[in-house]
Amino acid sequence: MSSKSAIPLFDYVGQYRQIEAEVLAAVRRVFESGSLILGPSVRAFEENFVQFLQVDGQAIGVGNGTDAIAIALRALDIGPGDEVLTVSNTAIPTVSAICMSGARPVFCEIDPGTLLMDLADAEMHITSRTRAIIPVHLFGNAVEMPRLLQLAELHGLAVVEDCAQACGSTWQGQLTGTFGDIGCFSFYPTKNLGAYGDGGLCFTRSQELADAMRQIRSYGCGKSYDCQREGVNSRLDEVQAAILDVKLRHLASFLTQRRAVAAVYDEHLPSSLTRPRIAPEVCHSRHLYTVIAANRDALTVRLGQEGIGFGVHYPVPIHRMRGYAFLGYPKGSLPLTERIADEVLSLPCYPELPHEDVRQVCQIVNNVMQSNP
């Protein structure tokens, strides 16, 4: 949607105005510090993010969320000849990162209620080449991690959590990203904890994996200029780290506001409009407020006419994209995933969204549902 939207899908400006003084002071400290790459701001943010997760471990700041997954897989020695299980109803980076490692993505079907990975179907796709499984905590919902960990242990698989949309989500009180071998986060500006540019992070409780990822993110060298393993250039920027550290202090409040916005939608949207199921064990972070509508075309036309931002996450499953045709998935190979792609619709949901604007969106949706049941 353009910047002229009456109610945009996402808008960072309101939040920036609230924390502008803190952000500018943090950036100024970076510029005055004399250290611009992997300096004190990155270290401080990494330490504070571990405290936020409330689990002992180590955080490794990287250039973006895609690199976070790719670096995690490299650290686990996953590469050519290996298979990694994931889903097709996800952002391209999940799959792009698997391919970057040299491994082959293998797609599982999704649960029709939650739209998350169907763990029974995932088990059916495990072969002698399967090395890892990447659960995607889509929209801010959480995959049933205790059951997934049992599956992974049974088959000797590594678990890399894709938490790009689920920073702050929990399963039975435990934050996503702390269950598997490595949790991967994106700090793209639209995320629950968003930078003013790109950024990402890997979390692990393993010292060995942490050391490996620190080397990989910096040409395989780590602290010394002596390459220990093949690596890349993917370092979280000092400026973005300083900004993220400011925003991290406000994250609990931002999440509370997101959940309040979602509660207004829950109250005012018609019951005939299906929402993805949230298990009782989950505390949803509400990165996106997504519904399932067979009449999506009518809804998007009307929302556009009214200047209401919307998103489709995601309009084409990855296995049906031209760029991934080489994987060999024909149309109809993941029927539920393909059907849901024609029906999902995300409505505006961000902390600063006024509740009266949410009710306005609900009224428009109600009107369309009544005229296009």
Q: Please, what sign has the CA dihedral across residues 204, 248, 163, 231? A: negative
Provide φ and ψ at 43, rounded to 5°: -60, -40
Say how far apart CA 239 and CA 27 lie, in whole Å.
6
Report the Cα 104 to chain-centroid distance in Å: 21
Backbone Cα Rg of the chain: 21
What pLDDT is stored for residue 224 in this prediction?
79
What pLDDT is stored for residue 3 in this prediction?
39
Which band of pLDDT confidence, cut at 50, 70 and 90, is reported for residue 222?
confident
Q: What 3-state DSSP class applies to 347?
A: strand
Q: Please, what sign has the CA dihedral across residues 354, 360, 362, 365? A: negative
Which band of pLDDT confidence, cut at 50, 70 and 90, is reported for residue 371?
confident
Check pLDDT > 70 for residue 66: yes
Check pLDDT > 80 for residue 225: yes
Which band of pLDDT confidence, cut at 50, 70 and 90, is reported for residue 333?
very high
Residue 249 burial (CB count, 10 A): 12
b/e sequence 178-199, b meaning 16+ C-beta within 10 Å: bbbbbbbbbbbebbbbbbbebb
Say how far apart CA 161 and CA 97 lie, in whole Å.
13
* Sheet bearing 158-162, strands edge to edge: 58-62, 200-204, 182-186, 158-162, 130-133, 83-87, 104-108
Give tens-digit pLDDT for 124-149: 999 999 999 999 999 999 999 999 99
Say how far apart CA 66 and CA 70 lie, in whole Å.
6
Say how far apart CA 321 and CA 325 lie, in whole Å.
6
Residues in the chain: 373
pTM of the shown model: 0.96
Say how far apart CA 189 and CA 350 lie, in whole Å.
12
Q: What is the DSSP secondary structure assignment for residue 269, as one 8-state letter?
A: S
First to last CA, the chain: 26
Say how far apart CA 47 and CA 245 lie, in whole Å.
10
What pLDDT is stored for residue 219 in this prediction?
94
Check pLDDT > 50 for residue 215: yes
Provide φ and ψ at 201, rounded to 5°: -160, 145
Which band of pLDDT confidence, cut at 50, 70 and 90, is reported for residue 1?
very low
Mean of per-residue pLDDT scores for the chain:
96
Q: Please, what sign has the CA dihedral across residues 235, 240, 245, 249? A: negative
Domains of the chain, first to last? 13-246 (3.40.640.10), 250-371 (3.90.1150.10)
Per-residue pLDDT averaged across 271-291, rounded? 97
Listed in sequence order, the residues at least 6 apart from 148 whose beta carbon sits closer than 8 Å to its beta carbon are 117, 119, 122, 133, 135, 159, 179
Give tens-digit pLDDT for 164-176: 999 999 999 999 9
Check pLDDT > 50 for residue 48: yes
H or E segment at 264? helix 238-268
Per-residue pLDDT averaged across 250-271, rounded? 97
Say how far apart CA 21 and CA 79 lie, in whole Å.
45
What pLDDT is stored for residue 5 in this prediction?
59
